Copies of this chain bind each other. A is one copy, B any other.
Amino acid sequence: MSTSLTVSILGCYAAAPGAFKNPTSQVLEIRNHVFLIDCGEGTQVALRRNKIKFVRIKHIFISHLHGDHFFGLMGVISTFSLLKRTAPLTIYGPVGIKEVVLLQLKLTQSFTSYPLHFKELKSKEPQLIYEDDLVTVTTIPLKHRIYTNGYYFQEKVGLRKLDINAALNLEIDKAYFNKIKQGGDVTLEDGTVVPNHELTFDPPTPKSYAYCSDTSYQPSITDQIQGATVLYHESTFLDSHEHLCKVTGHSTAKQAATIAKEAGVDQLILGHYSTRYPDLNAFKEEAQTIFADTHLADDGEVFTF
């Protein structure tokens, strides 16, 4: 089975939204999951414009409780109800997120039409917060002005792929095929043991997506996300404004690229740009002096890996 990662950028600008610049939100499609990551004001409208079906979103991951990453959450929760959704929704985010959502539901005197679950986070260590047969999601503790997590989405290693011609040549009954896909050897009627690698191809290499925003330069994360397929890393500033990173808890494009290089990822996406810069290409150029496979996020853009 070949798989692909799709990342739809709903918004990728820092701080206050502009007339045509959305705050942070993005959708990751991985192994048939549609994960919503962060939820700045206007996310529900951006979802509509990107034609992402609301009902497919079952999990929302909030990195931290600054407005540009979660002020759109109530609108999403509320609109899902207006649309009479019944599928459960789980929200992952820092402690406090449940209180602010429930208070607003109470004030609007409304209930959601669907089961709404919260998984509140407070650990400063990486934590496995979601797992099924196909993917895992683990927090990436980041260093920002307030408690913040990135999220690491990883496909699991899939089943081995049956070499159907090899199996037919050896007249292996199809009752054994599942066992073979799971890695088992086969003993023929004459007692010959056929090792699994003669009957199968390797499964596709599992892909992974590391979302890191907002954060100051944090080299300690590179171990955790080593070899990721894609890293989305914030680059609020250019190197010329590096002195602003310490106060604000943000990174430069150069720092983002250094993380990508040290983590040995395949591809880097930059985002969370300060609106002070009229030309985003400067971010890409700066990052590419360190890490070649760098892409620029922009609102409405869709990346497939």
- Residues of A whose CB lies within 8 Å of any CB of B are 15-19, 41-42, 44-45, 48-49, 65-67, 71-72, 74-75, 78-79, 82-83, 94, 96-97, 99-100, 103-104, 107-109, 145-146
Selected A-B contacts with CB under 8 Å, 10 pairs: A15-B79, A16-B78, A17-B44, A18-B48, A19-B45, A41-B45, A41-B72, A97-B107, A100-B104, A103-B103
The answer on a CB contact under 8 Å between B71 and A67 is no
Asked, given contacts A45-B42, A65-B108, A72-B41, whether A16 binds B82 with beta carbons under 8 Å apart, the answer is yes
Name A45's closest neighbour in chain B (CB-CB). B17
Residues of B within 8 A of A103 (CB): 99-100, 103
- Select one of B19, B44, B145 contacting A41, CB under 8 A: B44
Interface centre among A41, A66, A96, A99 (most CB of B within 10 A): A41
Residues of B within 8 A of A75 (CB): 16-17, 41, 67, 71
Minimum Cβ distance to chain B for residue A214 (Å) = 12
The answer on a CB contact under 8 Å between A67 and B108 is yes
The answer on a CB contact under 8 Å between A107 and B19 is no
The answer on a CB contact under 8 Å between B96 and A100 is no
Minimum Cβ distance to chain B for residue A18 (Å) = 7
Interface centre among A71, A74, A94, A109 (most CB of B within 10 A): A71
